[in-house]
Structure 1
């Protein structure tokens, strides 16, 4: 299926789910950075990223959908990429009627979802497909902080691989957050530590992967006469070590270690 067709279907699915939601938040955003990096490639790639995010809650849980469309100057040629992340979290307290609050934990959930991406980069061109499932702790903080331990079932079909390759099932420790820090500012983002996933598509050993992506955002809505949290702007930073499980000390080279500052703008509706 064509990437933009799948993206359109994902956005329509999010819009449909909002009708049954008790609350929902949608946003369209833009990010730009000049220090993106790719395994087997450069470390100074420029990328423009158009983003759509949907979050909603209903009686028994919540949905999250993120769609990134990227254009870059990778390997001296224009490259396009689409990345979709979907998660559904079932709130076990709401389902069972039991109280799972304990210490800093206010609740317990079960999360399932998928990652899907495609890119036409001539050197690596990952086509990741990944299923995700595992328990999630809801931490008792202003805003939200969710921490979970998940099992990942992942496959890929990059350049030079004749058929889709499936890695060993492996665990991930993940966190996502959105925390107000006062005076219109908020700290938002995610961090994932992913265990090695066995041999890669070419018979090499994969490496543990760490991906931190955080941003400090400021609500500029009031200055423009808009409702609260309608328009946000800020700075984002991503640190991605051993990207896609490729060791930056191996053949993938320094492109598997990304240190990327970005500017970010979001319109919420």
Structure 2
């Protein structure tokens, strides 16, 4: 997902930063390979969602988008994997743009690795999360090419389903249209909540995530960035069971996203606030 666009006037930081980024990539790919080969459980899904009130910075119009996604979640002896691939297709108000956005997270369960019970209070365990985000978009104005490594601790709370709370360091860069070299933002923290909670014994579930992302210094054009709040929540219902399919095989729901200061753009920027209702359909296998 993209960041701020203004008239170029910033200095490009082209220096190489070894360390946490490379550690996150190597460990995430290693964990995904191990987990995929020895998964205790796994769930794959193909989904579709649609909304008519998407927002993009520096665009004051409501944008319609269709989103096709693939999701993989799995768990193995020492942790879990999560992979999501979104293909977003905009209408003419966003240049009929197409975007691919990939998110991967690998969470190591430190208690399982140590062979100890690390539960306390409301937490059933302590983990360590690493992963990355990657995107590319072909709109005519900004054309984002985001790359981001993430790394940090996670608390796994003791609830039906799951509720994970992570504090992650973000190492983000981008090279949009008009920028000759990849620009690296200041390293900045993100508070992330991710949940999937069944509603009693009903076919309904409450799912989603919350990201609070601190400001990331100056953008690639020299402008100030602002802290972001991104909440994406959905109520999903198992409709497949009523049609003779397996439990939670086919799910339908309503989704709502609230995104303030989208991509770090300050409130004064048109399109920096998104309030986006969506319909969502998922097939799990």
Contact 2:94/2:139, CA 8 A, preserved across alignment: no
For 1:90, which of 86, 108, 119 is the aligned residue? 108
Q: Are residues 1:109 and 2:127 paired?
A: yes
Higher relative contact order (CA 8 A, sep 6+): 2
How well do the aligned residues superpose, as a CA RMSD in angstroms? 1.6
Contact 1:66/1:84, CA 8 A, preserved across alignment: yes
SS for the counterpart of 2:271 is helix
What is the number of residues matched between the two proteins? 254
Alignment correspondent of 1:168: 186
- CA distance in 1: counterparts of 2:61 and 2:104, whole angstroms: 28
For 2:274, which of 235, 258, 264 is the aligned residue? 258
Contact 1:33/1:46, CA 8 A, preserved across alignment: yes
For 2:68, which of 50, 59, 78 is the aligned residue? 50
The 3 A distance-change label for structure 1 pair 101 and 207 is same
- CA distance in 1: counterparts of 2:251 and 2:166, whole angstroms: 27
Deviation at 1:124, TM superposition (A): 2.0
- CA distance in 2: counterparts of 1:237 and 1:102, whole angstroms: 33
Q: TM-score, normalised by structure 1?
A: 0.91
> Which structure 2 residue ranges, 5 or more long, are not aligned?
1-30
- CA distance in 1: counterparts of 2:241 and 2:32, whole angstroms: 28
Deviations 1:188-221 (A, max 9, x none): 0100000000000110111001111010000001
For 1:185, which of 191, 204, 209 is the aligned residue? 204
Deviation at 1:14, TM superposition (A): 7.2
Which range moves more in the overlay, 255-264 or 152-161?
152-161
- CA distance in 2: counterparts of 1:126 and 1:77, whole angstroms: 14
Deviation at 1:39, TM superposition (A): 0.8
- CA distance in 2: counterparts of 1:93 and 1:200, whole angstroms: 39
Alignment correspondent of 1:268: 284
Deviation at 1:83, TM superposition (A): 0.2
Deviation at 1:17, TM superposition (A): 5.0
- CA distance in 1: counterparts of 2:53 and 2:35, whole angstroms: 36
Alignment correspondent of 2:88: 70
For 1:30, which of 32, 48, 57 is the aligned residue? 48
Which range moves more in the overlay, 167-176 or 154-163?
154-163
Q: TM-score, normalised by structure 2?
A: 0.86
> Which structure 1 residue ranges, 5 or more long, are not aligned?
1-12
Within a 5 Å distance, the mapping from 1:134-173 to structure 2 comes to: 134-173=152-191
The 3 A distance-change label for structure 1 pair 239 and 76 is closer
SS for the counterpart of 2:242 is helix
Q: Are residues 1:221 and 2:240 paired?
A: yes
Alignment correspondent of 1:3: none
